[in-house]
Amino acid sequence: MASAFSIQTSPPSQYSFFQMGPVCLRRVRAYVPPGVAPRLGGGGAPGAPAPTVALPIGLPWLGAHFRMDALAAFFLIVVNLGGAASSFYGLGYGTHETAPHRVLPFFPAFLAAMNLVVLADDAFSFLLSWEFMSLTSWALVMAHHRERDNARAGYIYLVMASFGTLALLLAFGLLAGPAGGYAFDAIRAAPPSAGEPAPQQQVPPSPALPEQGPPNLPALPTDSGPWIPENVAVLQGLDKVTARVSSFDAPLDKPVHFGTLEIIPHACFKRPPEEPPENAAFLEIREIKPGEAPVELFTGWMFSTSPALSSLEHPVYDIWVVDCKNDSNSSAPSSR
């Protein structure tokens, strides 16, 4: 019988290895129903991105994301070695258990929940796995519920777990920021100043603008300090639906595409090495959808150290400046 969902890589015609720990590789292949296949990124090669899988379950606009990196593999080993040791110990200890049916169903469920907590790669999946772990742990504590001390311990455990979940909710809300990126990739990629008030007196000075910019290119606010003109803007784009972050080069006055966005940089300046790091790019961004007229979304300066100062407002995509560089052989990348 065909699987309800499957795992594939991008591009869809290739498959990847899902790395289940540092010494174990298992190739995951399954039937791929059209429009249902989740995305699997990364591979097992040294230096490759950590394998990730996105399943079409959970919140409609987020899905369920899981990630296997070196840190997750370490904690999976710790969790499962502890579970194996407890299981061997339970072979003898369980002979004295008066109600084994109150323990046996919840112990493997508890181990599975701890594994999901370690692998979760978005806030919703993490909290769901965390709550599942808390409930199965509470069920194990309440195995001897008729004993007064056990019942009291179970009550205290539920209260403490509820406070812990509330703290996690508040933390994820702060980390997601105004863009609402609840995938851990989006949280990791968010600039440090995202969600903070725009700092004062951190606007780059006005350099001598290059001739290839449009004639109405506005000047940066004047300030002291030298600037170096470059011909390539290094940008990063975030797809909030898939939580994928892409880095790409954008040569001046050449359109590049990210999803349905068309981005044209008209100027890019950076501070000299002896100055505090800063990059400023003048971008023109519009959205192009098939069968629809282009929609102008953003025209203005973006700054690498102060992305909140001037940012793109879009429900699906985020764009920000990472660097400015000089590349005599640069060419516009293909549509993404």
pLDDT digits (tens, 9 = 90+) for 19-71: 333 333 333 333 333 333 334 344 444 445 677 777 777 776 677 888 888 88
User: Tokens in use for 297?
Assistant: 């979304």
Half-sphere exposure of 248 (CA within 13 A, CB side): 24
- Supply the pLDDT for residue 180: 64
Q: Quick one: which of 289, 226, 280, 282 has its CA closest to 261?
A: 289
Q: Which of 147, 136, 149, 152 is nearest to 102 (CA)?
A: 136
User: What tokens does 326 get?
Assistant: 């000089």
Nearest Cα neighbor of 130 from 82, 171, 71 is 171
Highest mean pLDDT among 6-20, 41-55, 131-145, 246-260 belongs to 246-260
Give a three-class secondary structure readout of 6-19. CCEECCCCCCCEEE
Please report which residue ranges of 95-248 form alpha helices under DSSP H.
106-119, 123-141, 148-176, 184-189
Order of all β-strands in the sheet with 39-41: 8-9, 39-41, 52-55, 64-67
In degrees, rounded to 5, the angle at the alpha carbon of residue 193 between the alpha carbons of residues 303 and 59 is 110
What's the pLDDT score for residue 145? 80
Q: Which two tokens stand for residue 124?
A: 């919703």
Q: What structural domains does the chain harbor?
A: 70-187 (1.10.287), 200-325 (no CATH)
CB 52 within 8 A of CB 41: yes
Question: What residue type is assigned to position 242 of the chain?
Answer: T
Q: Who contacts 181 (Cβ-Cβ below 8 Å, separation ≥6)?
A: 187, 190, 238, 240, 243, 318
Q: What span, in angstroms and rounded, lies between the C-alpha atoms of 57 and 66?
A: 12
pLDDT attached to residue 304: 87
DSSP 8-state assignment for residue 200: S
> Is residue 112's pLDDT more than 50?
yes
Mean pLDDT of 296-304: 89
Residue 276: asked if its preceding bond is cis (omega within 30°), the reply is no
pTM over the 0.75 mark? no
Q: Residue 172: pLDDT above 50?
A: yes
The label of the residue with tokens 């011909």 reads 231
Query: How many CA atoms, within 13 angstroms, populate the side-chain half-sphere of residue 27?
Result: 4
Tell me how far apart the alpha carbons of residues 107 and 138 are, in angstroms, rounded to a whole number: 11
